[in-house]
Every structure is written in C-alpha cells, then in structure tokens.
Amino acid sequence: MSAPELKFEEFTATSPSLGAMTRKNNFPTMIFQGQLENHTEFNENIRKLVYAEQKKASTSKPANDIEIMEWRSAKNLHRNSKFAAVRDHLEAALASISSELHYSKDHRLKISSMWANISPSGSGAAAECRPGNLWSGCYCVRVPKGTGSMKFIDPRTINVMNPAKFEKDDKPRDCFTKVTFKPSEGHFVIFPAWLYHEVETNMAKQSGPAGDYIYISFNATQVKDKRSSTAS
Ligand SMILES: [Fe+2]
C-alpha cells in the first residue's frame, strides 16, 4: 500500500485553548537531520583524508577573528574521488528531500561545493548564510567533548527585534527564534541555504588534534537530471 498524499489540512492544529479557531503554520523553515549508522571506520578514514588535505594546502582564508583558528579546505572536495563516499551519502539524503518535497523528477539536488573544516579548541564559525544555493548542510566527522552546538537563527528579523513575552520555560517550539543542534559523530544536518547559522565556540579541553572538531560542509543546487533523461 502506498503512503497517503500529504494534505494541507494535516498541518491544521486545534487545541482546547483555541476554541473554535484552528492554526495553520505557513512558510515553515525545514531542517532535516540524519545519522549514518556504523560510521566509525568511515569517519576515521575521512578524518585522515581531511588532515592530509590540510597538510598539502598552502593557505586558508579566515573570514573573521574567531574563524582565524579554523582551517577550511578548498571547496571542491565533491570532485575529489577520495571524498566520493561522503558526497554520495549526502546526495542520497538530498534525493530523499527532493522526493519528500515533491521536487521535479526531471531534476535532482546536486552538491555544488563541499569542503572540510578543522575547528580546534577555541574556534567557531560566525553566523552566515549561503547565497546562490538551495540547500546547505554539514556532516560531523569527529566531535570531541566540548564541541559547540550549531545554532540556527529565525530569518524573520521582526521576531528577534520585537519578541513576544512567554510564560517562563513554556515557549512553544513553533515560537523559538533560535534553535541549536548538538553535533555528534555520524550526524548530518541539511537546511535551507538562506537560513543564518553559526557554530558556537569549541570548548574542548584538549589542545591539538585531540580537541579538533572536524566536519564536512556542503551546498546543493537543483540541476536537470541527465541520468533520468538518458534512462527514459
Ligand atoms: Fe556555514
């Protein structure tokens, strides 16, 4: 039996406090998360590849003070065969999102840039969005204790500038203006490219590689799927 089609009515909320009214959440901000099972060997291999990239790289371009300590690889790792396994895994997740959101079957979400980050103790990544892309994300390779959370910020500035007052510790999740995700190894997050996000400071006690938070970042765009047109 096939899964039922989602109907808009299913997003309608009712509750005793609403009485005869109903609530519909429109313009949702979707953040997808997943976990790669049996990732230990997979991640260990990526970790070694990332350090090898760092060793052969001659420059890194920090964007601001806190990021001076963070190292970033070139942004073309999706074209590097050594990183093909992680790229394929992430593109499989993006294909699921395409299907979930009823995107055109003649198109697919393709990773357009992918890079590695080594974030030592004391470093983080300032808030940014990723112009020119549809979806963005990251895959957590190595997460020492003390790694900072990934924080997403409500893009509707009015909610941050002029917030409502809520009962203490009783703010509905639908009204959050900031949400954080605690990274864990094998975990990945995929979010709209326009959504501001930051990585809080890595507070790992160890210095050197033992305190390094390592993750793979990527962006994705929607492209005509040549594979589907040649197959039909
Ligand atoms: Fe980012």
- Between the CA of 228 and the centroid of ligand 1 the distance, in Å, is 31
- Between the CA of 130 and the centroid of ligand 1 the distance, in Å, is 7
Work out the pLDDT band at 10, boundaries 50, 70, 90: low
- Between the CA of 75 and the centroid of ligand 1 the distance, in Å, is 12
Which residue do the tokens 């995929």 mark? 190
- Between the CA of 167 and the centroid of ligand 1 the distance, in Å, is 33
Please report the pLDDT score of residue 222 as a whole number.
97
In whole angstroms, give the CA distance from residue 232 to residue 228: 6
**CA-wise closest residue to 175 among 33, 25, 7:** 25
Residue 197 has pLDDT above 90, yes or no: yes
* Side-chain half-sphere exposure of 65, counting CA atoms within 13 A: 0
Q: What is the mean pLDDT of residues 50-60?
A: 82
Mean pLDDT lowest among 54-68, 117-131, 179-193: 54-68
In whole angstroms, give the CA distance from residue 6 to residue 221: 25
pTM of the model as a whole: 0.88
Mean pLDDT lowest among 36-45, 65-74, 120-129: 65-74
In whole angstroms, give the CA distance from residue 49 to residue 116: 10
Query: Percentage of the chain surpassing pLDDT 70?
Result: 88
DSSP 106-148: TEEEEEEEEEEEEE-TT--EEEE--TT-SEEEEEEEE--TTPP
**Residue 149 or residue 4, greater confidence:** 149
**CA-wise closest residue to 65 among 152, 125, 119:** 125
Strands 213-224 and 135-142: antiparallel
- Between the CA of 217 and the centroid of ligand 1 the distance, in Å, is 7
Q: What CATH topology corresponds to 32-221?
A: Jelly Rolls (2.60.120)
Please report the pLDDT score of residue 13 as a whole number.
76
Q: Is 198 helix (H, G, I), strand (E, B) or coil?
A: strand
Encode pLDDT of 134-150 as tens digits.
999 999 999 999 999 99
Q: What is the mean pLDDT of residues 153-172?
A: 91
- Between the CA of 33 and the centroid of ligand 1 the distance, in Å, is 16
**CA-wise closest residue to 56 among 67, 48, 64, 66:** 48
In the chain, where are the structural domains located? 32-221
**β-strand partners of 118:** 71, 214
**CA-wise closest residue to 118 among 50, 59, 17:** 50
- The helix (H) or strand (E) run that includes residue 191 is strand 187-192
In whole angstroms, give the CA distance from residue 205 to residue 145: 8
- Between the CA of 137 and the centroid of ligand 1 the distance, in Å, is 8
- Between the CA of 150 and the centroid of ligand 1 the distance, in Å, is 9
Contacts of residue 180, defined as CB under 8 A and 6 or more positions apart, other chains included, come to 149, 150, 151, 152, 200
DSSP 144-181: -TTPPPEEEE-S-HHHHHSPPP--TT---GGG-SEEEE
* 178-181 sheet: strands from edge to edge: 125-128, 197-199, 150-153, 178-181
Encode pLDDT of 72-129 as tens digits.
999 999 999 999 999 999 999 999 999 999 999 999 999 999 999 999 999 999 899 9
